Amino acid sequence: MHGAVLLYLLSGCAAGPDFHRPQVPAVNGYTHGTDPGTTVAVDGTAQRFSSGTAATADWWRLFGSATLATVVDEAMTHNPGLDAAQASLRQSQDVLRSGYGIFYPAIDASAAATRERFNSLAFGQAVSGKVFNLFTLSATVSYALDVFGGQRRMVEGLRAQLDVANATALATYLTLSSNIVNTIIARAAYQAESDATEQLVELQQQQVQLAEVQARAGTVPYSTVLSLRSQLASYQTQLPQLAQKIAQSNDLLASLAGHAPAEWTAPAVQLAEFSLPAALPLSVPSDLLRQRPDILAAEATAHAASAQIGVATAAMLPSVTLTGDLAGSTNSIHTLFPANGRSWSIGANVTAPVFEGGTLWFKRRAAIEGYRQESDLYRQTVLSAFAQVADTLHALDNDAKVLAAEEEALSAAREALHLVQANYDAGLSTYLDVLNADAQYHQAQIAQLEAVATRYQDTVALFAALGGGWWNRPDSPRAAAQSN
């Protein structure tokens, strides 16, 4: 035991393992085979993935909407969730600063003033008791020697908790910006779909009116009227559903921006105002480990669990405390420190656990298992992050293919409408044929709008999956370190 203590004192080692980032699969890409380099071109535009390139901090500005940027800035200023995350971060900073205090001597001072009556009869003296004042002033200095590094491991754990709070604040920032951009895109798409559906309802109403006239004339069966009325009711049902989605989007945007829905409404943005980012970043997997806030939080949590092993190990070993006391007492406050009223002491105290009923042993075992759990959760977080990036890459590639097909369908419907209108002008088609062709065109338009919105939102998902570029913000810790 004495040799172990001397070895720790000379080497300055701390009990427990030194933390190392848990091992994760060493891969160079995200998808099976080769990561896509570009999507198919739609209207002559294809999205390109630039491997090894990180996202910019204000990635939402790449969508080309000044209104979108204004709403994001509003939310960053007033969102309570972001303020709470910043408060939690400051709290962790103060807790860490308080933890550093264990490395310094603790000095306590006390003062007392009492009035006493000394009972001399209790000591066999036949002298009457004497009443007097007693003033005492004392100071105590204690210093715990961190022989086995338990205190250092505790502070290491507090530092890891600060890293968790910092990663949580980054995750809140990323989630907030992503939710705002997604909600604004969704609201714009709902509004565009609502406008197209209203036009479709108007066309269907004309079809119903025309079919009723034909049914009364006996040229079409009444079942045609009923079929058209059913289709009209189906289209009309979609309008309040879209209105509800628009209202919910407005309410969500208000809450994200830190306002009540009754006092604030986000400015309207048309879907046509957005521009699709053509050049997209694609961080390599090794960089993603230092960029995703959820991965950073999982790593810091594992680090804190590793430090707890050292704390639990040190608790099983002897502790050494140095103490010193200085005191003075007198019956007059004017002579509080006379030479004959001063006392002092200095010494060392060694405490070692002898029998704790297995408590300390199993606390250490629990700390080890806790670290294993957090290490496994870290690896799972990394795998999930890789899968999320891969899913987004697949989605963007498929979104482009779907949009290309919808664009082709819309183009065909538009051409068919033109042909039917030309035939109607030439007397070769009926007006009902024109209405049917126009309805098919609007249905294709709605499907195309949904495909456009999905492509925009999956682009947002890619920026979020890559960490959102927080490290490029001027106020980020990494940017500050690089500028020094």
Identify whether the C-beta of residue 17 lies closer than 8 Å to the C-beta of residue 306: yes
Residue 263 token pair: 């006092």
pLDDT confidence of 11, banded at 50, 70, 90? very low
Residues 450, 407: Cα–Cα separation, whole Å: 11
CA distance 343 to 46: 86
| One domain, residues 205 and 337 | no
Same domain, 419 and 339: no
CB 19 within 8 A of CB 306: yes
Residue 233 within any structural domain of the chain: yes
Angle between helices 431-465 and 359-425 (to 10 degrees): 150
pLDDT at 170 over 60: yes
User: Of 4-8, 131-135, 148-152, 439-443, which gets the smallest average pLDDT?
Assistant: 4-8
Residues 6+ apart with CB under 8 A from 358: none
In this structure, the answer to whether residues 131 and 276 fall within a common structural domain is: no
Residue 174's domain spans which residues? 8-104+147-317+358-483
pLDDT confidence band for 333 (50 / 70 / 90): low
Q: What percent of the chain has pLDDT over 70?
A: 91
Q: Which is higher by pLDDT, 7 or 476?
A: 476
For residues 310 and 402, state if they share a domain.
Answer: yes
Using the structure block, give the residue that is written with the tokens 């105290």: 349
Identify the pLDDT of residue 477.
52
> Among residues of the chain, what percentage have pLDDT more than 90?
57
Residue 1 lies in a domain: no
Higher pLDDT residue, 353 or 476? 353
Same domain assignment for residues 77 and 95: yes
Q: In the numeric block, which tokens belong to residue 483?
A: 């500028």
**CA–CA distance, 331 with 115 (Å, rounded to integer):** 9
The per-residue pLDDT for 1 is 42
Question: What integer pLDDT is reported at residue 178 of this predicted model?
Answer: 95
State in Å, rounded, how far the first CA of the chain is from the last one: 46
DSSP one-letter string for 13-66: --SSPPP-PPP----S-SSSSS--SBPPPBTTB--EEEETPPPPTTGGGGG--H
Look at residue 118 and tell me whether its pLDDT is greater than 80.
no
Is the pLDDT at 83 greater than 70? The verdict is: yes
Q: How many domains does the chain have?
A: 2
Q: Does residue 2 lie in a domain region?
A: no
Is there a single domain that holds both residue 327 and residue 445? no
Q: Does residue 299 belong to any structural domain of this protein?
A: yes
Mean pLDDT value across the chain:
87
- Identify the burial level of 197 via C-beta atoms within 10 angstroms of its C-beta, where 0-12 means exposed, 13-18 middle and 19 or more buried: buried
The number of C-alpha atoms within 13 Å of 394 and in the hemisphere containing its C-beta is 10
Backbone angles phi, psi at 56, to 5 degrees: -80, 160
> What's 134's domain CATH number?
2.20.200.10
| Size of the chain, expressed as the number of residues it contains | 484
Cβ 129 vs Cβ 117: under 8 Å: yes
- Report the SS3 class of residue 290: coil
- pLDDT, mean of residues 430-434: 81
Q: What is the CATH number of the domain that holds 262?
A: 1.20.1600.10
Span 201-254, pLDDT tens digits:
998 898 889 888 888 888 878 888 898 899 889 889 999 999 999 999 999 999
Q: Which of 373, 360, 218 lies closest to 305 in space, CA to CA?
A: 373
Confidence of residue 124 (pLDDT cuts 50, 70, 90): low
Tell me which of 351, 370, 403 is where a domain ends: 351
Is the pTM higher than 0.95? The answer reads: no
pLDDT score of 288 more than 70: yes
